[in-house]
Amino acid sequence: MKFICVVLLIIGGITDSDEYEVIGPSAPVMTVSGEDVILPCSIKPNISAVNMRVQWIRLDLKDSIVHLYEDHKDINTDQLQSYRGRTQVFKEELEKGNTSLKLSRVQISDEGLYKCFIQSESWSDDVTVDLKVEGGHNNIDGGEMFYSWKSSVISFAVVLSLIAVMLIVVVVYKQRGLQTEPQRINEERDTLLLREDKTESVTSLLRKHAVNVTLDADSAHPRLIVSHDGKQVRYENKDQTEENQDEEPNNTFDNYLGVVGHEGFSSGVFYYEVQVEGMVEWYVGVARESVSRKGPVSLTPQNGYWSVAKGTFSLWACEDSYVLLSLSVKPERIGVFVDYVKSRVSFYDVESMSHIYSFTDQSFNEKIYPFVSLGYKWSKNSSPLIFCSDRSPVGDSHKNT
């Protein structure tokens, strides 16, 4: 009997360990000497890494320690001297399984292979991240020449892109008078999707497809307060007793501080804007009607969510493997543009009229709803998230039901 119990325990341990894996970027992480860089690493599906051992090492330097987090604190007594004071993990992100490493003031000597090793009481796994530092070549003069040549090529490409955009605008406006309404809408949409760079007319094109979004208070997490007009949502740290939790409807969020819009969309294109100024953490995007709102579900396309998110130190797109985004200015108002027919969700920084990120070739298959979240279980936000209503009238290019 003891032998059977031991075997069952071993099998149970193996099953638990197979449920999780450590993931990182599929391509090398590129940066420039002197800049800060984030080496992505996370647990999939998302579980808390607060009580785990998180170790970053250099594989090409005989497994030398770059950073060690253990027993709820950083332990860097054996850290390589060249990394002292330049590394950190995001403590507030560990609860979500984000074990990425921030490396400050990157040096040419930092180029190499890094291993992210995560260990709990029941399982362990690791992933290798390849860091490339521009200018990190043996021949410094040759490296500088390469960088100068690359900058010239990029500048030339930008000029060509601007010329191409101008030609497209001229053609569209010349042909506008000869087009039927459906043709005009398709041309306008295609032109918009080509303009995912900084351009003056992006916002005006987007707002022609604006919709009036109001929040469904019945779907909100119990710690969220939705305004009477359905345009604002804020966090309130209310106690949740087990009795109160049992009374929560099945359609409310119970882990992510989420809420969805009243209106669902199943065709055409639509656009809305959300003010996130002053907020420490947020998620903005859309979600399928049938998504799971219970438990620590990952907010990814695989689970029916398409969103971008901001934490204390970073901005990322919530792909199945998180994509870290680098923006020169922190966005204060996010524009969300959805093309249901072309299965595409795009995000814009409204103030700078610049493109942030796009999910392409997606599969909606059902109604999708505007979705926002103020964090996971608790929030540092003191400001409300606001759905902007000062938009143009809604056209005929979408249907809300």
Quickly count: other Cβ atoms within 10 Å of residue 145's Cβ. 11
- What CATH number does residue 337 fall under? 2.60.120.920
CB-count burial class (<10 Å; 0-12, 13-18, 19+) for 396:
exposed
Same structural domain for residues 279 and 389?
A: yes
Residue 232 lies inside a defined structural domain of this protein: yes
Q: In terms of residue numbers, what domain contains 172?
A: 140-178
Same structural domain for residues 285 and 381?
A: yes
Same structural domain for residues 166 and 237?
A: no
Residue 296 lies inside a defined structural domain of this protein: yes
Residue 98 lies inside a defined structural domain of this protein: yes
Domain boundary among 79, 109, 134: 134
> Which residue type does 317 have?
A
Do the strands 124-134 and 29-32 form a parallel or antiparallel pair, or are they unpaired? parallel
Quickly count: other Cβ atoms within 10 Å of residue 273's Cβ. 23
- What CATH number does residue 60 fall under? 2.60.40.10
Q: Each residue of 213-233: b (16+ CB within 10 Å) or e?
A: bbbbbebbbbbbebeeebbbb
Same structural domain for residues 242 and 379?
A: yes
Does the predicted model carry a pTM greater than 0.75? no
Query: pLDDT tens for residues 75-98?
Result: 988 899 999 999 999 999 999 999
Domain boundary among 134, 164, 192: 134
Same structural domain for residues 126 and 152?
A: no
Q: What is the pLDDT of residue 379?
A: 87
pLDDT of the chain along its 401 residues, tens only?
444 444 444 444 444 445 789 999 989 999 999 999 999 999 998 899 999 999 999 988 876 899 999 999 999 888 999 999 999 999 999 999 999 999 999 999 999 999 999 999 888 999 999 999 986 444 444 474 555 556 667 778 788 888 988 888 776 666 554 444 454 445 455 555 545 444 445 778 888 999 999 999 999 999 999 999 999 999 988 765 444 454 556 678 988 999 999 999 999 999 999 999 989 899 999 999 999 888 888 899 999 999 999 987 788 999 988 888 877 778 899 999 999 989 999 999 998 878 899 999 998 889 999 999 999 888 888 889 999 975 433 333 344 44
Which two three-digit tokens encode residue 245? 């939790």
Same structural domain for residues 82 and 169?
A: no
Residue 193 lies inside a defined structural domain of this protein: no
Same structural domain for residues 116 and 74?
A: yes
Same structural domain for residues 317 and 364?
A: yes
Residue 196 lies inside a defined structural domain of this protein: no
Report residue 341: phi and psi, to 5°.
Answer: -65, -45
Query: pLDDT tens for residues 8-67?
Result: 444 444 444 457 899 999 899 999 999 999 999 999 988 999 999 999 999 888 768 999
CB-count burial class (<10 Å; 0-12, 13-18, 19+) for 345:
buried
Dump the DSSP string for 367-401.
Answer: -EEEEEEEEESB----SPEEE----PPP-SSEEE-
In the chain, the N- to C-terminal Cα span, in Å, equals 61
Domain boundary among 77, 109, 134: 134
Same structural domain for residues 145 and 130?
A: no
Same structural domain for residues 289 and 389?
A: yes
Locus of tokens 């959805």: 338
**Total count of domains within the chain:** 3
Same structural domain for residues 216 and 104?
A: no
Same structural domain for residues 90 and 22?
A: yes
Residue 195 lies inside a defined structural domain of this protein: no
Residue 9 lies inside a defined structural domain of this protein: yes
Residue 190 lies inside a defined structural domain of this protein: no
Locus of tokens 């103020």: 374
